[in-house]
Amino acid sequence: MRMTVLASGSKGNSTVIASARTRILVDAGLSCRELLRRMALAGEDPATLDAILITHEHVDHIAGMPVLARKLGIPVFITEPTHRAWVRMVTPRTTMSYAQWLDHLQQEKLARAQAAAHIPTYELPSREAGAPCLASETWVEPAQTRVEATIDLSAQAQIPVDPDVEEDLSPTSNPKPDPTFLPSVEYFQAGRQFSIGDLAISPFTIPHDAADPCGFVFEADGVRMALATDLGYLPPNVKAALRRVDVLLLESNHDLEMLRDGPYPWSVKQRVLSRVGHLSNDATADFLLRDYDGGATYIVLGHLSESNNAPELARITAERALNDRMSLLGNRILLATQATPLESINV
């Protein structure tokens, strides 16, 4: 199996997972053009991709997905809640300002007043005072109140028409492309294993502020690779999923002191630090020290913040946690970056 991290960070994430017969792209958080460029740099052929697999709907994981999927004509594997959230994100919505809303109310008020002014009046047939009303008497609209309107359909041809509008309304005009169109969509559910080609994929729920975020374990020919980024902490189900893997891509997003003293607004800092935010260097190190089984050949630290972390800080914190378990044959620490693809990992 092979893992090639094309990009990892808050500006875009994408990773190629390949087996002997299957190649998938996990997330497409860069533009289509940039994804193709990164694949060329890494020696990956886009034409051999079998599918795109999505972790969650945040822009840094999904930005180039629709264009790339349409360009290559490949299916997108995604959970239904994530797909729905993405569709809502990209569907154009009509909004109005407060002034436009007031104008809209005024127009409705005028329309109601005009409609009320055109209500016809009705009179009863005249009869002598005190005369009984016969059952045969009915309401009759006087002749003078009747208005018969005729419409000259030929007059429509005399109405001036804006040439641009006429072109838009013509049968031959091309409608705007649907931004939500994908060649094929396949739904999966966290906790239920599925396969793409010869790759067995086990999705698991992760704690993050998205509709239905997932991490994955990939397995083929006895080799297991795991991907877990964008999670606020490591719950028991995630810790269990990350056992017995040969390659582990794990988040090490920020240094706590750098985040607290950094440029982010306090509200963003609170989000990052929350239990649906991102793993700090210390949180990742705590997992490696206490819960990691030590079986991976490579540990890739990913989603490093460019503003609130330093690559060497992330590396040193993880190495201290691993202590004497690092060797040339196991637990080698690699850093995935935002700017350039990581050299392919073959196991």
For 16-34, write each residue's pLDDT tens digit. 999 999 999 999 999 999 9
The answer to which of 117-131, 225-239, 245-259, 291-305 has the lowest mean pLDDT is: 117-131
Q: How far apart are CA 187 and CA 78, in angstroms?
A: 5
Distance of alpha carbon 66 from alpha carbon 76, whole angstroms: 9
**Rounded to whole angstroms, how far apart are CA atoms 28 and 49?**
12
What pTM was estimated for this model as a whole?
Answer: 0.78
Q: What pLDDT, on the 0 to 100 scale, is given for residue 130?
A: 53
Instruction: Report d(CA 128, CA 126) in Å as an integer.
Output: 7
Question: What average pLDDT score do residues 140-164 get?
Answer: 42
The helix (run of H) or strand (run of E) holding residue 204 is strand 199-205
In whole angstroms, what is the distance from residue 240 CA to residue 282 CA? Answer: 20
Render pLDDT for 48-89 as a digit per residue (tens, 0 to 9). Answer: 999 999 999 999 999 999 999 999 999 999 999 999 999 999
Average pLDDT value for the chain: 87
Question: Bridge-partner residues for 194, per DSSP?
Answer: 201
Q: What is the DSSP string of 264-318?
A: S-HHHHHHHHSTTS--BHHHHHHHHHHT--S--SEEEEE---SSS--HHHHHHHH
What's the pLDDT at 346?
A: 97
Cα–Cα distances (Å) from 121 to 88, 134, 144, 146, in that order, read 50, 21, 10, 10
**Per-residue DSSP letters for 173-192?**
SPPPPPTT--S-EEE--TT-
pLDDT (tens digit per residue) in 190-238: 999 999 999 999 999 999 999 999 999 999 999 999 999 999 999 999 9
Q: Which residue has the tokens 């190495």?
A: 319
Alpha helices, DSSP H only, in 48-133? Answer: 59-62, 65-72, 80-90, 98-117
Percent of the chain with pLDDT over 70: 83
The residue count of the chain comes to: 347
Q: How far apart are CA 213 and CA 62, in angstroms?
A: 12
Cβ burial of 5 (10 Å; 0-12, 13-18, 19+) is buried
Which uninterrupted H or E stretch holds 261? helix 256-261
